[in-house]
Structure 1
């Protein structure tokens, strides 16, 4: 993994999560802003998938379990679309909060992926 890209992903995930949770708690329903924040997060996760495929070939293999890393990455990539689908089906303020919780969960998962890739020893 690339450290600066991890920081960008975590920053975007936390910003999107806090934005969605705050907007949901003040009563706002899902909007283009909240769905767009999760779409941006999903684009970053798709880029991370591409990086994870290329990095070992380029000489940057993970130090931890590759299987554990990929389970985290695939799970993290599924959370934003699941949150958006939920929000579009329910269309309540709580679905906006759920999108925020999903984004915050992605932030934790991305940081854990960084730890698996660079710190852990298999």
Structure 2
């Protein structure tokens, strides 16, 4: 198992719990919820940098490389979109949008791992 997938699971779960918890408590988006989504974005940037180094050093993507990079680019946009949503609509419901980032990105990380290793599933 890739360490980035494990780290991604932890960061995404923590972000989702914080954001959904804030929504349950009827809180508008705050520094904690927004920073938790920023942590997901930072993880994706690190993951992308690591993947670029791995691929440039000769480690092949077993699946389709364009699909892997397409997933990564799309995943990079999701937290940014949720951030802007939360900034523009400062209601407790925005925390649910922020909370959806964690599970969405984890599923995308899992799929990227499948594409990289060529595994159909665990």
Pair in the same fold by TM > 0.5: yes
Deviates more, 1:16-25 or 1:67-76: 16-25
Note the aligned Cα RMSD (angstroms): 1.5
**CA distances 1:58-98 after superposition (whole Å, capped 9, x unpaired):** 23211111111111101111111110110010000000110
1:11 aligns with 2:10: yes
Determine the C-alpha separation between the residues in 2 that align with 1:120 and 1:23: 36
Q: SS in structure 2 opposite 1:20?
A: helix
Q: SS in structure 2 opposite 1:28?
A: coil
Gaps of 5+ in 1: none
Determine the C-alpha separation between the residues in 2 that align with 1:115 and 1:58: 20
Structure-1-length-normalised TM-score = 0.91
Structure 1 stretches of at least 4 aligned residues deviating more than 2 Å after TM superposition:
none
Deviates more, 1:107-116 or 1:50-59: 50-59
Query: In the TM superposition, what is the alpha-carbon distance from 1:119 to its structure 2 partner?
Result: 2.5
